Amino acid sequence: MGKSILCSRCFKNMGLRREAAKFGPGTNDACSYCGKPDGTKLDSPAVLALFRTFYCYRSEAATYLPPVFVEGDSIDEDVQFEESAQTDYDPLKKFADLALRRNTPHAYEMGFTEIRSEIDIVLGQDPSLAPEETAERLRTNLRKLLASGFDYELRDDETVYRARISPERPLEPNEYDSPPSEKAIPNRIARSGNRVFCGSLNIETCLMEIRHISTI
């Protein structure tokens, strides 16, 4: 172990303190930062690991989503924590020589694309007042949308996954076909009442599509 720069007792936040204590047993010598005895001493590699574990790895909203925060060289002004975690963030940032930035997902991961935006703009206009150029703009983007699709033939060894919010009989296989007409809500795939089967070759995509939020 290298020279200690912080210890587990330096932190006010209980979660950080308990996480820091996992790096080893406490020692009786006073900490060079807070002066308290009995804390688990942290050298530079341990401080880096603690920073990444507590603020980055533990910021996942769900296991299939990316971390909310990642390490970077700039700080978002709106990055805020509970008071004790905010206080503890300052020495960790100083000694780890790292900062946090929001891990903003790409717009297409949230269902937004240039083609969709163009179509939405056109459809937001009054059709009786829209010029021919607007109609052609809509046709052009609809052609692009249709051209982006392709045929895919499933192999015998492939599995298609399907997720559904609050199925009435979760163990029944037929609960996971296309949704009943009364539950088919308007989305980027279909209009209200239109039964369209949406599946994926991986579970994570299914969970992302229904915006499932797990709680403990």
Question: pLDDT tens for residues 148-189?
Answer: 778 889 899 999 998 888 888 888 888 888 888 887 777 767
Find out whether 113 and 141 touch, Cβ atoms under 8 Å.
Answer: no
What range does the domain containing 144 cover? 107-150
90 and 128 share one domain: no
* Strand ranges in 8-155 using DSSP code E only, listed in sequence order: 41-42, 69-72, 99-102
145 and 157 share one domain: no
Q: Within a domain: residue 1?
A: no
pLDDT at position 204, please?
78
Interatomic CA distance for residues 5 and 34, integer angstroms = 10
Q: Within a domain: residue 197?
A: yes
Among 39, 74, 104, give the residue marking a domain's end.
104
Tokens of 82: 């509970």
Place of tokens 């607007």: 134
Q: How many domains does the chain have?
A: 3
pTM attached to this predicted model: 0.52
15 and 72 share one domain: yes
Below-70 pLDDT ranges, the chain: 1, 61-65, 73-77, 105-112, 188, 211-216
124 and 72 share one domain: no
